[in-house]
Amino acid sequence: MDIIPQLIVNSIIAGAIYTMVALGFNLIYGTVKFFDLGYGAIAAVGGYSVFYFYKILNLDLSLSILLGILISGLVGYIVYRLVYAPLRKRKSSGMVLIVAALGVMTALQAVVAILFTSQFQTLSQNAGTERVFSILGGVITQTQLIILILGLVIMAIIGLVFKFTLFGKAVKAVGDDEEVSKIVGIDTVKIIGWVFFIGSAIAGLAGILVGFDTGIEPTMGLSLLLKGVIAAIIGGIGNVYGGVLGAFLLGFIENFGIWKISGEWKDAIAFGVLIIFLLWRPQGILKR
């Protein structure tokens, strides 16, 4: 059997998921300049919200997804207001914020596990009978195709918003210099709040899509997040298109890396790539 086309397709699918996580992460990092690790748990929040509405309450699919995205965004916003905003106001160091974010991640994950048990669940009703398409000689499911398209659409929207709207410019300004933006009359707390809401909503969406593609478990966020962070860093942190480039690059390296060895090594490969980049090209492929 010819394996290379399927490897390429798998790489693209992985890249599409990482793209989404990296986009949300980059948005937040580019504005507030710290590694928001709690962001990972938000993906699980999104996935489980849909699980609750769609599978337990049997609500309409699109309504459930919409609610899931809103809840993820809201949780991200609340965490920002309760934890990060006071810390940032006090000018805490990046390390304090990382430790607080680790706390957020641990606590959120565990809360999800208490509510829904730590069992692996799948969101799709028709697992295994999904429509499949074949591209380039490889197989891709409908969900995976949606992931790919959504990833690119979100990238385009973020790129356009940054370029053409007042909001995008304000976000950029806050990212460049928070003090000065405050002086020229930008409501930084409000802008950063929105950034957290949007970034977390994207994370939630990523969690939901992964849930439809493979499945959800409370600890899913950490590995998703780490992949997103790695993609963002190797692509050029804070750069919208760099994150996308990094995500696809990571997808390819991971999937081709496990060509001859067991798939369990994926995480190790991803971090190996991260460390190599941090050592030799810490600014990533595209500079901000």
Interacting residue ranges for another protein, rule: CB under 8 A: 34-35, 83, 86-87, 92-100, 102-111, 113-114, 117-118, 222, 226, 229, 233, 262, 264-265, 267-268, 271-272, 274-275, 278-279, 282
**Shortest reach from residue 81's CB to another protein, in Å:** 12
Q: Which is nearer to another protein, 147 or 233 (CB)?
A: 233
Smallest separation (angstroms) from another protein to the CB of 97: 8
In angstroms, rounded to a whole number, what is the distance separating the alpha carbons of residues 148 and 26?
18
**Least separation, in Å, of the C-beta of 94 and another protein?**
5
With contact defined as beta carbons under 8 Å apart, do 254 and 274 qualify? no
Q: How far is CA 52 from the centre of its chain?
A: 21
CB 31 within 8 A of CB 175: yes
Decide whether 62 or 260 has the Cβ nearer to another protein.
260
- B/e letters for 73-102, b = 16+ CB within 10 Å, e = fewer, are bbbbbebbeebbbebbeeeeeeeebeebbe
For another protein, which is the closer residue by CB, 98 or 152? 98
CA gap 127, 237 in Å, rounded: 36
Give the nearer residue to another protein in terms of CB position, either 155 or 229: 229
- Cα 51 to Cα 41, 55, 83, 111, 121: the distances in Å are 15, 5, 27, 15, 8
The nearest distance, CB 198 to another protein, in angstroms, is 22
Contact 230, 95 (CB under 8 A): no
Of 196 and 212, the one with the shorter C-beta distance to another protein is 196
The residue (of 138 and 218) whose beta carbon lies closer to another protein is: 218
Smallest gap from residue 132 Cβ to another protein (A): 30
Cα(190)–Cα(54) distance, rounded to whole angstroms? 32
Task: Find out whether 133 and 142 touch, Cβ atoms under 8 Å.
Answer: yes
**Least distance in angstroms from the C-beta of 117 to another protein:** 7
Q: CB 145 → another protein: shortest distance, Å?
A: 30
- Match 């991200």 to its residue by tokens: 76
58 vs 262, which CB is nearer to another protein? 262
CA distance 169 to 103: 32
End-to-end CA distance of the chain: 43
